[in-house]
């Protein structure tokens, strides 16, 4: 199903004052997973998975999930692509596991609500699997956590797919300090004056949760110090590729893919 059709029917609960509503950066990722390029990425990843792993599940991380839209729509897309390849020599995937993490408890509540309100979309996909005499399930886990730091996070990795649309705007310490910070500020405040602190903190703690086949996507913007970001990630051993961008007013918003070929997992 085209992503535009999914978005026509997807119910996205909103809480404008406290949780980030899907915006241009969110749609940049959702547009990308509808492209032939993403399809190719999926089939290349599938070929690698068949060769290197016998795991019968796919695991997905949506970091900073906000409303939960990115992870949920990605799961629906993966189900479509698995269905397309169902007659090929593919592993018998029995489950897709989606881990949602957000620092904002209200966001996790909203993501839970999004999953609840859209059960029918998953049920429609499961029915198509049954028509092909296959069965698959989806398990969704919800964690309130500052990146991976909470002791309560029980994650399922190495992740096959990772998406993070982080806060990436340079901090405005004159406006926000820890005394007047509102929970919605976490949605845009990149943590320092480069706008890169949160995304770099994330990548510094990702190593043991991915393998060399993991497909990692993240978003940033021309308002952040992008050259510094890319250089720092390359120094950590990541290969970074710009996949898609949009120009809105005075900003370029960009979707990147990161890969870690040297990963030992």
CA nearest to 167, candidates 200, 191, 201: 191
Q: What is the CA radius of gyration of the chain?
A: 18
Nearest to 41 by CA among 209, 241, 247, 246: 241
Give the nearest distance from C-beta 26 to ligand SAM in angstroms: 3
Residue of the chain from 6, 10, 12, 22 that contacts ligand SAM (CB under 6 A): 22
Two tokens, residue 110: 């909203």
Tokens of 244: 């898609």
Q: Which of residues 81-120 bind ligand SAM (CB under 6 A)?
A: 101-104, 107
Q: Does 186 bind ligand SAM (CB under 6 A)?
A: yes
Cβ-based nearer residue to ligand SAM, 107 or 258: 107
165 vs 214, which CB is nearer to ligand SAM?
A: 165
* Nearer to ligand SAM (CB atom), residue 128 or residue 223: 223
Residues within window 51-70 making contact with ligand SAM, judged by CB under 6 A: 64-67, 69-70
Q: Which residues of 137-148 are buried (b: 16+ CB within 10 A; e: fewer)?
A: ebebebbbbebb
Residue 128: count of CB within 10 angstroms of its CB? 15
Among positions 10, 73, 198, 254, the unique one binding ligand SAM when judged by CB under 6 A: 198
Contacts of 200 (CB under 8 A, 6+ apart): 229, 232, 233
Minimum CB separation of residue 145 from ligand SAM in Å reads 6
* Spatial separation of the C-alpha atoms in residues 162 and 43, rounded to whole Å: 16
Tell whether residue 35 is a contact of ligand SAM (CB under 6 A).
Answer: no
**Would you give the DSSP letter of residue 186?**
G
Q: Which stretch binds ligand SAM (CB under 6 A): 133-141, 165-173, 234-242, 254-262?
A: 165-173
Give SS3 for 21: coil
Least distance to ligand SAM, CB of residue 146, Å: 4
> In degrees, to the nearest 5, what angle opens at C-alpha 13 toward C-alphas 121 and 65?
85
Nearer to ligand SAM, 18 or 48 (CB): 18
3-state secondary structure (DSSP) of residue 112: helix
| Interface with ligand SAM, residue 157, by CB under 6 A | no
Least Å from the CB of residue 217 to ligand SAM = 11
- For ligand SAM, the binding residues (CB under 6 A) are 20, 22, 26, 64-67, 69-70, 101-104, 107, 146-147, 165-167, 186-187, 198
């Amino acid at each position: 199903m085209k992503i535009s059709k999914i978005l026509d029917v997807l119910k996205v609960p909103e809480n404008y004052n406290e949780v980030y509503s899907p915006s241009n950066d969110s749609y940049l990722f959702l547009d990308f997973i509808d492209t032939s390029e993403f399809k190719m990425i999926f089939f290349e990843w599938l070929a690698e998975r068949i060769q290197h792993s016998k795991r019968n599940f796919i695991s997905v991380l949506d970091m900073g999930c906000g409303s939960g839209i990115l992870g949920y729509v990605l799961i629906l897309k993966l189900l479509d692509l698995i269905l397309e390849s169902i007659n090929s020599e593919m592993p018998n995937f029995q489950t897709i596991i989606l881990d949602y993490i957000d620092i904002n408890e209200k966001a996790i509540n909203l993501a839970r609500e999004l999953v609840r309100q859209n059960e029918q979309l998953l049920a429609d996909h499961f029915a198509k699997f049954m028509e092909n005499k296959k069965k698959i399930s989806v398990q969704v886990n919800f964690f309130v956590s500052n990146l991976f730091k909470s002791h309560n996070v029980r994650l399922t990795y190495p992740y096959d797919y990772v998406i993070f649309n982080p806060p990436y705007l340079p901090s405005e310490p004159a406006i926000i300090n820890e005394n007047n910070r509102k929970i919605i500020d976490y949605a845009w405040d990149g943590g320092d004056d480069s706008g890169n602190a949160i995304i770099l903190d994330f990548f510094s703690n990702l190593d043991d949760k991915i393998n060399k086949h993991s497909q990692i996507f993240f978003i940033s913007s021309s308002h952040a110090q992008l050259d510094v970001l890319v250089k720092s990630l390359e120094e950590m051993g990541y290969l970074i590729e710009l996949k898609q961008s949009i120009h809105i007013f005075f900003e370029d918003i960009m979707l990147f893919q990161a890969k870690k070929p040297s990963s030992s997992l």
